[in-house]
A and B are shown apart, each in its own frame.
Chain A
Amino acid sequence: MTAALSVAGAVFRESVRDRIFYNLVLFAVLLVGASIVIGQLTAGQDVKIIKDLGLSATSVFGLFISIFVGINIVSKEVERRSVYPLLAKPIRRSEFIIGKYVGLLLTLLMNILVMTVALYSVLFWLKRGVPENIQGAWDAPAMDPALLKAIGLIYVDLALVTALAVLFSTYSSPMLSAVFTVCLYVVGQFNEDLKRLDQIVGAPAAGIIGKACYYVLPDFAKFDVKLAVVHGVTVSGGYMLWTTAYAAAYIAALLFGACVIFSRRDFK
């Protein structure tokens, strides 16, 4: 486990130096710029829009990091042969994979923490000077702590995407890994529709295939509670726990697969 943590630390340091966090500057500019423009165009809806925009941007920026860093995190090491001296050290290949994954999760966590602070800062700035009676008419307060639930599930969602990307990168090229990950992510957004595919297309065979896909493929739509949070709808603690447990089980299976594949791989 110590070895895996050392690998995770190196991934995080390399990510910081590789200017991955430059996306945060873009995020901040987008958020502040949008809040100024929206504040002048809308009447009383600006806080809701900024919440929606902030959460969506957090999700999209995180997704880019998950996919594009995730698909490269193993394959780049193999391609550049930096994995050779590393695997000649007293470290198991499974520890290498787990370390890489944890390092990327740390990078994502740091990103999301900074984005969260930026979002709350902009919301605080927007709230200032708004009379109490207008604030009372909002679906949810500007500095709503429930936003953290949406952000938490975005992080869980990204952790699952990262695990998919890492699995593909253990045996496939970065390009193919990106295609596979994006495809599964998109399909996973419509997982509920797969369940009732027979009703949609009117063919019983499609129903069987759809149901099989529903149970095998990850259901990414479960992690999206942005709309509910923005409109002040309560997301229960039970739902948070159940969804996180679902992701954890899926991630464990994906990482197990990644470790098995990587442990058998020849580095020509």
Chain B
Amino acid sequence: MTPAIRTRDLTKDFPVGFWRPRPYRALDGLSIEVAHGEVFGFLGPNGAGKTTTLKLLMQLVFPTSGEAEILGRPVGDVSIRHRIGYLPENPYFYDHLTAEELLTYYARLFRIDPSSRRQRVTAILDRLGIGAERRLQLRKFSKGMLQRVGIAQALLNEPDVIVLDEPMSGLDPLGRRDVRALILELRDQGRTVFFSSHILSDAEALCSRVAILAKGRLAAAGRLSDLQEFAVQGWELVVSGVPPDVLDRVRRRVRSVTSITRDRYSIDLAADGHPEQLLGELTAAGATLIALNPIRETLEDLFVRRVSEMGDGARPAAPTREPRQRTGRGNVA
């Protein structure tokens, strides 16, 4: 089956400098595939090339080399945009139009039938929680409200593929919760959601797969369960009421013991530290179990590890440079 989104060796150079512009490589040979109906997280630190990639998909910038397809069609095919929704980063609209007028204007561009246009606009504004402000001019909207308008316009045409650039930006905790629920709702409807973010908890909660971008190059891509080291790396045992002599004996067999409160301790065991055996000994000595947690790698650990693996070397810049090995490139998701 054709992927919903596919890029092959997608590369973008921007000229830098006025008199003698030199190419600055914002994206270097990105190859990823996003399957239909999945929520795909596109992660990376600031300046990694996430927004450039999304702009390339929307043809707001043109690639230096490589290609990109959405729903099996080249991204330059204007007709395919009937099936795509796009939220730019920190969206901005026309000051003097109301939310309703803006969406009606966009609905015309989508050639949504005039008889259902008004109903569609009203429904989507209500869904995003800004129905009451539909007749307010957009210059009076807060940043969070503009973000909601941005999401509303991205969903107006009931798209098959939704591309969101930092969808949680500018939203308060309630707004973020709403958008998370909305993304899951879209996934349940069988739509593909491709979103960029540097809020890792959102990606961890929503994505079936992620790609991590660093310095314009793909650092990692795949299922979270494959990327993260899900094997247990250790155990955290939290207990209270341990007699001091028992605690001294335990200290020699574990990685560390940390005092949390006066009689509560966190015990860090190695992966092969047999927590059930230690727990038996402690409870027999009168201790009470508070918690027993396996220690696994989080997305944040993975992110930091993969981004730092990309090294501190200069970002690839000039096409005239000698070819060199690209870390992580060609890693098709």
Q: Does A90 contact B (CB under 8 A)?
A: yes
Q: Does B59 contact A (CB under 8 A)?
A: yes
Q: Does B265 contact A (CB under 8 A)?
A: no
A-facing mask of B80-99, CB < 8 A → 1, else 0? 01101011101111111100
Cβ B82 vs Cβ A85 within 8 A: no
Q: Does A264 contact B (CB under 8 A)?
A: yes
Q: How far is the CB of B289 from chain A (nearest CB, A)?
A: 54
Cβ A84 vs Cβ B91 within 8 A: yes
Most chain B CB inside 10 Å of its own CB: which residue of A81, A82, A87, A90: A90
Interface size on B, residues (CB 8 A): 34
Q: Does B9 contact A (CB under 8 A)?
A: no
Q: Does A80 contact B (CB under 8 A)?
A: yes
Q: Does B119 contact A (CB under 8 A)?
A: no
Q: How far is the CB of B97 from chain A (nearest CB, A)?
A: 6
Q: Does A242 contact B (CB under 8 A)?
A: no
Cβ B101 vs Cβ A13 within 8 A: yes
Interface size on A, residues (CB 8 A): 25
Given A82-B92, A85-B150, A88-B84: A10 touches B105 (CB 8 Å cut-off): yes
Cβ A268 vs Cβ B108 within 8 A: no
Q: How far is the CB of B36 from chain A (nearest CB, A)?
A: 20
Cβ B61 vs Cβ A268 within 8 A: yes
Which chain B positions have C-beta within 8 A of A2?
A: 108, 111
Q: Does A17 contact B (CB under 8 A)?
A: yes
- Identify B109's interface contact among A13, A81, A91, A264, CB under 8 A: A91
Provide the bound-state CA to CA distance between A88 and B154, in Å.
Answer: 9
B54-76 residues with Cβ-Cβ distance < 8 A to A are: 55, 58-62
Provide the bound-state CA to CA distance between A45 and B111, in Å.
Answer: 57
Provide the bound-state CA to CA distance between A9 and B108, in Å.
Answer: 11
Q: Does B78 contact A (CB under 8 A)?
A: yes
Provide the bound-state CA to CA distance between A197 and B59, in Å.
Answer: 47
Which chain A positions have C-beta within 8 A of B82?
A: 90
Which chain B positions have C-beta within 8 A of A82?
A: 92-94
Cβ B93 vs Cβ A88 within 8 A: no
Provide the bound-state CA to CA distance between A264 and B63, in Å.
Answer: 11
Given A14-B94, A87-B60: A268 touches B14 (CB 8 Å cut-off): yes
Cβ B60 vs Cβ A267 within 8 A: yes
Provide the bound-state CA to CA distance between A87 and B92, in Å.
Answer: 13
- Please give the residue numbers on chain B whose beta carbons come within 8 Å of chain A beta carbons, in ascending order: 14, 55, 58-62, 78-79, 81-82, 84, 86-88, 90-97, 101, 105-106, 108-111, 137, 150, 153-154
- Please give the residue numbers on chain A whose beta carbons come within 8 Å of chain B beta carbons, in ascending order: 2-3, 6, 9-10, 13-14, 17-18, 80-82, 84-92, 264, 266-268
9 shortest interchain CB distances as A-B pairs: A17-B96, A88-B86, A84-B88, A266-B61, A6-B108, A89-B109, A90-B81, A267-B60, A88-B58
Given contacts A14-B96, A82-B93, 10 further A-B contacts (CB under 8 A): A10-B97, A13-B97, A13-B101, A14-B97, A80-B92, A85-B150, A85-B154, A86-B106, A90-B109, A266-B60
